Amino acid sequence: MSLSSRKKLLLMGRSGSGKSSMRSIIFSNYSAFDTRRLGATIDVEHSHLRFLGNMTLNLWDCGGQDVFMDNYFTTQKDHIFKMVQVLIHVFDVELKLINKDIDIFVKSLTNLQKFSPDAKIFVLLHKMDLVQIDKREELFVIMMDKLQKISNPYQFKLVGFPTSIWDESLYKAWSLIVCLLFPNMDLFHSNLLRFNEVLDAEEIILFEKTTFLVISSTASIQRQTQRSGPLNGSVDSLDPKRFEKISNIIKTYKQLITKLRTSFNNLVIRGSNGTSFYVDVLTDNLFIMIVLKDRVAEQSYVNAREDLVILENIKAARHWFEKIENTK
């Protein structure tokens, strides 16, 4: 495997900020309740995670206790901060000693500037569920503005997310982070558009098979036109968090049937409003979800025939997406 296909991610933040919990939820199929049994991370925990076939995420979960932090920035700094593609720094919004968090963040920036100046930096303002709903956006804006000003002398542009293990915000953040690491995302999207020219689906969504993170999505021409309102405002009435909610629901469903010792291949759901949902394996590394709207209620054999046509179209499209995954 080439070095370019291995991506080193540092997951940093003070002890108890929630780093290991989010890692376990995204990559190890933990539920939010399951994370309560996790202990503190000792030093650095390494995870080598295959993603979309030929890419490996080399995730370094760095323990946040003071004794480990001191080593990261002194005796271990060239080891920790060399060849880093991404730093994900987690701030616990409930911690009172914010100056301690910022000191750690500044030391991380200093070492990244020296050893990995091209690294991308993401900030997760975590445990937002503990903040009053009407105060969350204000807190997020204030914190990100402060952290960006701190980062400016180091010439790093931050991307921030408010997150919680108790809602879909964690999936949204990690989907965007991982997608920025994969060089062929434009090819996935262009082929998804091409596929939808055949199906004319209301929406098509690609999920990474293990994590169910959203990789790409496309909507019908009609819906895309609806979204192009004045000042790029959206008049789309659908839930903007639907992708991440779907990720959570299907991943939970997949976990349940695994416990029943059966395999998850495909799923067809028909809504009472004429909308049909198809979830199927697209490649060894991808699931696809297709949403078709306004299907007329017909005899069951007619619906079954149409279902078969959709599933056959998915099979026919597999070689497009397998070719992208195998592109070096």
CATH number of the domain within which 230 lies? 3.30.450.190
Task: Give the residue among 317, 314, 308, 274 at the shortest CA–CA distance from 290.
Answer: 314
Whole-prediction pTM value?
Answer: 0.80
Q: Is the domain of 72 the same as that of 190?
A: no
Q: Is 301 exposed, middle or buried (0-12, 13-18, 19+ CB in 10 A)?
A: exposed
Structure tokens at 179: 């997608």
CATH number for the domain that contains residue 30: 3.40.50.300
What is the Cα–Cα distance from 11 to 51, expressed in whole angstroms?
17
Beta pairing class for 55-62 and 44-51: antiparallel
Query: Does residue 171 share a domain with residue 311?
Result: no
What is the band of 233 on the pLDDT scale with cuts at 50, 70, 90?
Answer: very low
Query: Residue 303 has what pLDDT?
Result: 63
Do 40 and 176 have their domain in common? yes
* Total domain count, the chain: 2
Judged by average pLDDT, the poorest of 75-89, 207-221, 290-304 is 290-304
Structural tokens at position 233: 């405002």
* pLDDT attached to residue 260: 66
Residues composing the chain: 328
Instruction: Give pLDDT tens digits for 179-218.
Output: 887 777 888 888 899 888 888 888 899 988 888 888 888 8
Sole residue written with tokens 């991308």: 120
pLDDT score of 1 more than 70: no
158, 180, 202 — which closes off a domain? 180
Q: Does 110 lie in the same domain as 40? A: yes
Which pLDDT belongs to residue 140? 95
Range of the structural domain that residue 109 is part of? 5-180
Q: Are 30 and 175 members of one domain?
A: yes
**166 and 54 fall within a common domain:** yes
Same structural domain, 32 and 135: yes
Q: How far is CA 42 from CA 47, 65, 318, in A?
A: 14, 8, 42
Same structural domain, 146 and 224: no
